[in-house]
Amino acid sequence: MNTKFSLFTRRIRPGLIVGLALVVSAAAQPETEPTESGEARTDRLLSAVGSRAAWSRTNILIVEATHFSLAAPSTYNNRIVNDLTRPRVRSEAHAPGWDRWATIDGDTGTYRRDNEAVIERDAERIASDNNWWSANLYRTLRRLAMNDPDLTSHAIGVDRLEIFQEGKLLNWFRLNEDGVPVLYGTDPDSAGTIFGPLRSLCYLL
């Protein structure tokens, strides 16, 4: 998936480096002793994606992406506005003859497809959407950058970083030797999602 990002907080600074792509299979990682502490691996991750200072100042992240899917439509463009400070998200996706819109705003949410009327999300879907937001990849990066005391970092083997909240896995990353995330996920048994291609840009603080 090709991606472009805009980030809003208070002043103008150099850009974050961020990206997102397709679900893939990943080879199992051999069980080896970690080569560094969880905190050191987190520092390398944040440095590779723009810096701790940059992410700690980011409140809203706008993602514009082209997705490639095995299901129809095989290619579609979307725009997602992520509020990283509270569960508020607005998204839209478009392909020829195919359009989708959705919102999350706390305990409310809406959905619309094509030329149909807007419908209110039911309680079960709103709960699911809020769970998704709680483990939002970019929200986690911001929380790590701000040294959120509710998060703990654990280094696993040579390249895996696991982030826990209240003893439960929130996100995991597989980093290359430069600290760049190559795969990420939330489910400990998932194959993961490719993270990239990474692009640098300017953003507003």
**What's the alpha-carbon Rg for the chain, to the nearest Å?**
17
pLDDT in tens, 146-175: 999 999 999 999 999 999 999 999 999 999
pLDDT in tens, 101-131: 999 999 999 999 999 999 999 999 999 999 9
Alpha-carbon distance of 159 to 176, in angstroms, equals 7
pTM: 0.81
Q: What are 15's two structure tokens?
A: 């850009």
- Tally of CB atoms within 10 A around 154: 17
